[in-house]
Each structure stands twice: as C-alpha cells, then as structure tokens.
C-alpha cells in the first residue's frame, strides 16, 4: 500500500514513472474491477459464515454423528429414519398447521388494521408507533409475558375467566395439546400482525385518490370501491408480505422453544424446535441436520414463487 503511495508521489514528479501508476489506476477505475474489489470481502464473509455452514449441514445429514464420537457415513439413513419417526411427521403437520392458520389470521387482521389506520384522525403517527410495539420488542421477552398470561393458576386469562364467572377453574392453556397449539398461534399472530398492518397501510397510501374518485363517479359504493379498487391495488403488497411472513413463520423457533418447549408430549413441536431438540438435546448432529434440511423444499418452493413473481412484475 505504502509503495503504491510512494509511486504516486514519485509519479507526480517524474514523467517516466507515471505510466505503470496510470495503468494501475485505470484498471481500478474499470467498473468490473472496482466492483469486484469492493464486493469481494462481503462475498467471502458470506461464503464462510453462510455458504460453508449450509453445505456442511448437507454433508452432516449423511452421517451418523453423535457428540464426541467419530462420524459414520449412513447415506440416506437419517432421512429413512426420519420417515419412520412419528414425532417428525407430527412436527411437519404442526409446522404446516401453525404456518397456515397464523398467516391467514395475520393477513386478514392486518388488512383490517390497515383499513382502519388509513383514515384521518388525531395522533395517527403515535398510534402507528404503538401498534408496531409487539413487532419490535424482543420476541423472547414478550413471549415470556405471554407465558405468564397463560399461567393456569394466576395468569391473566384464567383470572379474567374466573372473575367474569365464565369458568370456575380456567383451562391449562399450555398443558393441553389443542390449547397449546391455539396459544402459540395466538402469540405468533399477535407479534406478526403489525408487520402486515403497517406494510399494507404503506401500500394503501400509494393508491392514487383519483382511482377512488372515478369509481365513486361510476357509482361504486364503499364495498364496491374496496372490492374493485383497493383490493386489486393491494394484491402485490399482500403477496410479498405474505410470502415473507410464511418464511419467517415456517422456520419459527424461539416462540415454541420458550412457550412450550415442543410439549406437552411433542404436540407443539415445529420442525425447527424438533431439529434443535435432536441435535442439541440428544446430541445427534447428523439426524438434526436432516430434520433442518427437510425444510429446504418448502423454502425452495417459496423462493421459486417469489422469483417467478418478481420476474413477471
């Protein structure tokens, strides 16, 4: 580096030394060279810390590898083992159910939130900031609060049920398989709803008012304007937000890890928490990698849909 600087200084004084420096500078100034010089460090970083773990995970999934034991190659053995594992299939079913229900709830309630927010009222910016709070507060911390809300003895839900006289003793929210599933869907919806609401609201604000005006002139009522103007204009936003949300929800880990730990009796295990409990709890890294990799087809499908959509648009 310093030699280059010296050469530059020397080049400024004596004419003959100028040519190689000029050549170097001209090379660096070329778009492709400059681009790759700048892009290389982040690319190397991502290759080491994203690319390498990913392919190493694929490699691991073909081995039976337990902590502090030599690995043995088992081919597709881990995947065969998983296909015969009822808990794995339960986790697959739970993940799909959890993602589907939570996404539908978030999208429909988010649309409602956006429509309500898209009116003129005082303290709008402040209200929007308040509504976004569930999304920005560290998930684990709000999930711990929800755990206490669900507490069977003194939690808020059961206290309210008892005070209002709706029930003598409240249910065990996280202790009953069905209710536990309902509970994790509830918390996920609570947290993700503002993301939908605020994104759709931003989309609503880009719809030109002329569209609504001309629809009104053509005789469209409130419902007609919503159905023929608002909703079609919003579809791209809803599509993108939903796809993103599906990715995040499908691979969710911390919510279930904190709230139920996958219980009671594995009834709320998602694929991510099951992968964790196999690899970190039981120490079977190979099998755990196989569980994690079983989620790749879903990711691939979503990526394909998204790429197709972006190409079309």
Partner 1 sequence: MVGELTWRKRIFGLWLPLILFLVIALFPFTWMAATSLKTNAELYNPKASPLYIEHPSLVHYISLLNETNFLVWVGNTMLVAVIATGISLLLGTMLAYPLARMRFAGGALLALAVAITYLIPQSLLFVPMADLIGRLQLGNTLTAVMLTYPTLLVPFIAWLLMGYFKTVPKELEEAAMIDGASRWRAMTRIILPLCLPGFLSAGIFAFTLSQNEFLYALLFLSKSSVRTVPIGVVGELIRGDAFYWGQLMAGALLGSIPVALIYSFFVKYYVAGLTAGAVKG
| Residue whose pair of structure tokens reads 């081995």 in the numeric block | 63
- Total site size for partner 1, rule CB under 8 A: 100
Q: Which of 231, 280, 282, 305 binds partner 1 (CB under 8 A)?
A: 280
Binding residue for partner 1 (CB under 8 A) from 78, 103, 139, 277? 139
233-252 residues in contact with partner 1 (CB under 8 A) are 236-237, 240-241, 244, 247-248, 250-252
Of residues 95, 57, 70, the one with CA closest to residue 287: 57
* Binding residues for partner 1 restricted to 41-60, rule: CB under 8 A: 41-43, 45-46, 49-50, 52-54, 56-57, 60
Cα separation, 228 vs 4, whole angstroms = 65
Considering only residues 96 to 115 of the shown chain, the ones binding partner 1 according to CB under 8 A are: 112-113
Tokens of 59: 């490699």
In the complex, the smallest distance separating the C-beta of residue 143 from partner 1, rounded to whole angstroms, is 9
Of 5-13, 26-34, 82-90, 98-106, which part binds partner 1 (CB under 8 A)? 26-34
Other beta carbons less than 10 A from residue 150's beta carbon: 25
Question: Out of 64, 199, 266, 268, which residue is the one contacting partner 1 (CB under 8 A)?
Answer: 199
Of these, 92, 181, 184, 258, which contacts partner 1 (CB under 8 A)? Answer: 258
Contact 54, 257 (CB under 8 A): no
Task: State yes or no: cis peptide before 264, omega within 30 of 0.
Answer: yes
Closest contact distance (angstroms) between CB of 138 and partner 1 is 5
Q: How far apart are CA 271 and CA 252, in angstroms?
A: 9
Environment class of 134 (CB within 10 Å of its CB; exposed 0-12, middle 13-18, buried 19+): middle
Beta bridge partners of 73: 63
Interface region with partner 1, contact rule CB under 8 A, candidates 1-9, 29-37, 77-85, 169-177: 29-37
């Amino acid at each position: 580096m310093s030699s280059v600087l010296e050469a530059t200084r020397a080049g400024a004084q004596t004419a003959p030394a100028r040519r190689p420096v000029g050549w170097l500078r001209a090379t660096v100034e070329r778009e492709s060279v400059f681009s790759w010089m700048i892009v290389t460090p982040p690319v190397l970083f991502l290759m080491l810390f994203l690319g390498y773990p990913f392919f190493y995970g694929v490699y691991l999934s073909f081995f039976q590898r337990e902590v502090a034991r030599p690995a043995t190659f088992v081919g597709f053995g881990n995947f065969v083992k998983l296909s015969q594992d009822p808990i794995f299939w339960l986790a697959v079913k739970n993940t799909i159910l959890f993602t589907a229900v939570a996404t539908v709830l978030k999208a429909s309630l988010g649309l409602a939130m956006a429509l309500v927010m898209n009116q003129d009222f005082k303290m709008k910016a402040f209200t929007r900031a308040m509504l976004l709070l569930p999304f920005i507060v560290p998930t684990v911390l709000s999930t711990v609060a929800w755990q206490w809300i669900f507490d069977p003895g003194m939690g808020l839900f059961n206290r309210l049920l008892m005070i209002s006289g709706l029930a003598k003793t409240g249910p065990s929210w996280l202790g009953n398989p069905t209710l536990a599933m309902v509970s994790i869907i509830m918390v996920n919806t609570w947290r993700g709803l503002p993301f939908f609401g605020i994104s759709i609201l931003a989309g609503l604000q880009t719809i030109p008012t002329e569209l609504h005006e001309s629809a009104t002139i053509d005789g469209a009522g409130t419902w007609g304007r919503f159905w023929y103007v608002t909703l079609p204009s919003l579809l791209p936003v809803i599509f993108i937000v939903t796809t993103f949300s599906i990715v995040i929800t499908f691979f969710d880990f911390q919510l279930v890890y904190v709230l139920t730990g996958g219980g009671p009796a594995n009834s709320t295990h998602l694929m991510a928490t099951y992968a964790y409990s196999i690899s970190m709890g039981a120490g079977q890294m190979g099998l755990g990698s196989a569980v994690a990799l079983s989620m790749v087809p879903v990711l691939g499908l979503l990526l394909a849909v998204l790429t197709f959509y972006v190409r079309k648009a």
